[in-house]
Structure formats: structure tokens, C-alpha cells
Amino acid sequence: MNTKDEQQQNESKGNSGEQASVTEAMTENEENQLTETETNENEEDGAESPWAEGGAEEEIADLKDKLLRALADNENTIRRAKREREETAKYAAANFARDMLTVADNLHRALDAAPESLSDGDEQTKAFLAGIDLTSRELLSVLERHGIKQISPIGEKFNHDQHEALFEVPTPDAEPGMVVQVVEDGFTIHDRLLRAAKVGVSKAIVVPEENDDQRLDTKA
């Protein structure tokens, strides 16, 4: 009996050893599978790297360049807006000033149209003409205080940027291309032309030369 019991116990131990070996083998296979899975996941994660091909340093340099460009664009925008505000404030009265030039022209024409005999008339007439002249001068002074200056280029060289030639005047008293008559004064507002001066420009007198070869044949 004892021998049979010992045999059964030995067989039980053998079966237990075999089961333990199988269990250990299955555990090792599971661990290997988990390791392979983690390796594959790490490789997949590595394929989706947030950095560019050049790495983190190149990505940082690119972001820094974009930041500097954005700051430069912002600075240019601020300067452009400031310049536009200044120009708007400087030239805002251009249209109003252009309309006021008509008033100055009419006052000037009224003085030019007055006959000389009125200046030798009674005191009331003299005071009336003096009032018109004073009003004209005061208007030009007010315009000049706001950056609007008169252009009266009599005796100056013709300038295409500020003068408008209406006609030419043949004369030996001035060089060709000189302003010898001003029909309408011009005006500038700060550094811009508000209205060109309408002028007459001198022109050289052409004297026909005698041709000795051309003679009249008086013989019959």
C-alpha cells in the first residue's frame, strides 16, 4: 500500500511540475507579446513626432523668424497709420482752401478793375478801395497761417511743377522760358500744389535772315 501511495504522489508531483513548466512558458509568451506591442506603439509614436525634419532647433529658429516678421509687420502698420493721420490732419482743409481761393481771386479782380480815377476821388471812395485791399491782404494772411502760400512767379523761370503756361509772349526783354505775365496766382498747401499759377511765358523773336542768293531779276 505504501508503495502505491508513493507512486501516486510521485505521479502527482510530476504532473504538477509539467503544469508549472507550461504555465511559465505561457507567461513568457505573454510577456514577449506585451513587449512587442509596446515596441510597436513606441515606433508609431515616433513616426508622429511634433518636430520638423531638422529637429527642435530648426523648429525654434523658424518660429523665431515668424515672430520677428510679425513684429516688423506690426511696426510698419503702426507707422503707416501714424503717417496717414498726420497727412489727413495736414491736408484736411485742402478742399475748403481751394474754394476760398475763388474769394481771393474776386477781391483781386475787383481792385484791378477799379479805374485809377477812383483812387483820386473823395474820401469815401478811397476808404472803400482801401477796405477791399485790406480784406484781400487779410485773407491771404489767414491762408498762409494755415500753410497755404501764394505763388506769383513774375520774372521767374517757368516751372512745370507749379506753373501752367497759357500763351507765349515774343519779347526781346527776357530770356525764352521766363514768366512775363501772371493771369492767375497759384497756391501751395504745405509741400503740395493746391493750384498751378496760370502764366504767359516769354518767347524769342525770330528775325528772318536775308538770302543773298535770292535776287529779283529786273532784266527783261
Q: How far apart are CA 184 and CA 220, in angstroms?
A: 61
Q: How do the pLDDT tens digits run along the chain, 220 residues long? A: 445 455 555 555 454 555 555 455 555 555 556 555 555 555 555 445 555 566 788 888 888 899 999 999 999 999 999 988 888 888 888 888 889 999 999 998 888 888 877 777 778 888 888 899 999 999 999 999 989 999 989 989 999 999 999 999 998 888 899 999 999 999 999 889 999 999 999 998 876 665 545 554 555 4
Sign of CA dihedral 126, 129, 132, 138: negative
Across 151-167, b (16+ Cβ under 10 Å) vs e yields bebeeeebeeebbeeee
The pTM of the full predicted model, rounded to 2 decimals, is 0.58
Short-list 128, 101, 104, CA closest to 114: 128
Fold entry, domain 149-207: Nucleotide Exchange Factor Grpe; Chain A, domain 2 (2.30.22)
> How far apart, in whole angstroms, are the C-alpha atoms of residue 201 and residue 181?
7
pLDDT at 26: 53
pLDDT for residue 209? 61
| Phi, psi (deg, nearest 5) at residue 49 | -65, 135
Query: Which amino acid is located at 79 in the chain?
Result: R
Domains of the chain, residue spans: 1-43, 55-91, 93-146, 149-207
Strand partners, 200: 167, 181
